[in-house]
Every structure is written in C-alpha cells, then in structure tokens.
Amino acid sequence: MVFGVLKDIKNGEYRVIATPSEVASIKADGHRVLVQKGAGEKAGFADAEYLEMGAEIVDTAEEMYARSDLLAKVKEFEPCEYGMLRENQIVFTCIHPAAHPEEVQALLDSKCIAFTAEDSHRYGSPNCEAAGKQGALMGLESMLSINGGKGKFVSGLGGAPGMKVLILGGGLVGQAALSVLHALGAWVTVMDVNIGTMRSITRQYHEQVNTMLSTKENIAKLLPETDMVLNCVKWPKDRTDHLIDREMVKTMQKGSVIVDISNDVGVIETFHETTHENPRYIEEGVVHYCVSNIPGAIANSTSVAYAASVLPHFRNILNLGVEEACRRDGFLRRSMTAYKGYLTHEETSALQNRPWIRPEDVMDIADQNLDPAPPATVTRSDNYLKK
C-alpha cells in the first residue's frame, strides 16, 4: 500500500503526523511512503531526512490525495481539501466530527474510510499531555504584566506569595498541567467530579494539592481569590449552560488569567477561540488565553510523541487491512467516523441528528472475536441505519 504524510495547512499548525522514524518502520514493512514537501519542516524534520528513510517527496496536496491509499495528517480537513477526498481512500486525522457537520458531509459524499484520531488512543492522546503542560506555561506567560496580567510570579518571591491556581478537570490534560505548575511552586486546587481521581491526585502529590468537587457553587467560592483558572473539562456538546458564567468571571481580580485548554464552547461564557498569532484578549478585566491548538507551539516534541502513539494504527491498517485492524483494536474501531458513505460515529449521529451504523456492523465483523473498547464519549444515539 501507499502511505501518505500530508502537510497540515490549518492556521498556526506546525506538527507532522509521522517523523522520519515512523517512515522507516513503514518502509521496512514493505510499503511505499509519500511525504508532501515541507510537511515536517516546521517541526524540525527536513525533507532530506524523509528521503534518507526511503520516502518520496511530493510537491502538491492534489498529488498526495491522488496517489495515497492511507493518507494521514494532524488536524481537520480544510474546505479546500474536501473535493480531493476519494472513494475507498483511508484517511486518519483529528476530524472532531461532532463539531464539524460540513466536514462530515464531505467525508460521506466522498465514500472514503475515515478515522478520527482523537478517539483512537488507548492510553490517552499525547496531544492532551502536551496541551496541559504547555497550556500551563502559556498561562504563566499570560500572567506577566506586559501581557495584561497582574504580574505575579508562579512560586512567589521572598515576602511575595505565589500564585493560586484552579484546574478544572483531573483527567490527562488537567494532570499534565498540574505536573508543571506544582513543580514550579504554584498553590494548586484541582476540581473534578470523580472522587477516585481526586484521591489519586492527593496521594501522588503527598497531600500537597487541594482537591474539590467540581460544582458551579464551589468554583464561585474560589474565583475571587484565584489568580489563574485552567479549563481542562471535556464538556458535553449538547449542554447549553456554563460552568463559569460572565458574572462569575467578573468576581475575579483584574489581571487574573483564564486558560481554556479544552476549547469546548460552553464551559466558560466569556470564551472565544484564538490563534497563536493573536492568542489573548481581555474581557471583564481578565486575560483569556484560548488557543485551540496549543500543542502546535511545541511542534517537535508533540510530533515525536504523537507519531509514536499512532504508528501501530498505521502499521495495522497497512499490513492487515481496515477490517482486521479494527477487529484487533477496539480503540481504532471506535474512532472510525465514516465508511464508504456510511456514518459510523455515534456522537456525531446524536448531535447532528444523522443516522449511523456501528463500525463492526458496516464491516460485517460483529460476530468475530472483537477487541473491546469503552465508548469514546457518554453521548448515545439510537438513530440506527441499516446497511
């Protein structure tokens, strides 16, 4: 098969889905590898390095789409790419389908086989770890007086207290942010809805991190004395309320910071998405940092970690075929978004009111010995479509 490494074109995106190391592994399996010119350049991987590992450098996206059996990149498909998708082609990227109905329609119309990478990670996405760690550092930069912040140093100075930080969500993103902030000496409180998660955090940090149940009332109590809030909550897309509303933001001191790492609309009422080129805005006197692809700022490290995590998926698809790869790996199977014109993503079905069919049914493998995996989200849909 022909594996293609596509250059990402989203604004502010510098990562690459496969480094020269992954190319070498795929070549060793006997497959051809195409790499779009400059695909890894901004992440620190020159075209010459890919050539050395046996890849062919291709000038244009059009040729990449035309020649690749399995095509992969980091972020969503842009509208200019929709028309290049083709029937039976396998594509793998962070589609975020539930939030992008036009992109989903393009995938269905093309009759390609699409996997959304964010649902495919058995041990959590390296992008989540990167977003949490780098998001914490971006928050500290936003706290600087020169960026509109109140100018507090994270651990304090002799005679000057350190920052009080509230992390909403104790999952992979929140724990990654906590690891950085605790190491730098911040006074951190983590809020979550899982008591087990909070117990684990307090034990890991030897009772030096506060934990609280994540409720609107508890958040409201802490905000007036909190210097920085990091939102690491995965917010259900059908929720219409806010965890932090505008009136709550108003209670924060001028120059405090909100870092919305999750970038889920609805958690914080004053949120709107920003880019690396213009990452901050001030609303209600509070500095907001709401860049949607924080990991792109550390493109080299994130690319290396991310590529290593998805390489097994690529090798399984290339070596075994889609059906057998999905039978052996439930996390890959649950990430299937579209299969030859059929929607196979449950959350997208529920939120976009589209009929869907389970991946194992559309591939006729439901009666085989399937590797199990939990659902990717809590959102359920009974709007079933028969093949």
Which residues are identified as catalytic? 96, 264
Neighbours of 229 (CB within 10 A): 26
Structure tokens at 379: 């959102």
Pairing of β 90-93 and β 70-72:
parallel
- Write the secondary structure of 170-203 as one string of H (helix), E (strand) and C (coil): CCHHHHHHHHHHHHCCCEEEEEECCHHHHHHHHH
Structure tokens at 296: 């792109």
Burial label, 95 (beta-carbon count in 10 A; 0-12, 13-18, 19+): buried
Q: Which residue in 308, 306, 309 sits closest to 296, CA to CA?
A: 306
Q: Which residue in 380, 373, 323 sits closest to 356, CA to CA?
A: 380
**Can you list the pairs that 353-358 forms with residues at least 24 positions away whose Cβ atoms lie under 8 Å?**
353/383, 354/104, 354/383, 355/383, 355/384, 355/385, 356/381, 356/383, 356/384, 356/385, 357/384, 357/385, 357/386, 357/387
Q: Return the amino acid letter for 177.
A: A
Say if residues 309 and 315 touch (Cβ distance below 8 Å): no
Count of residues in the chain: 387
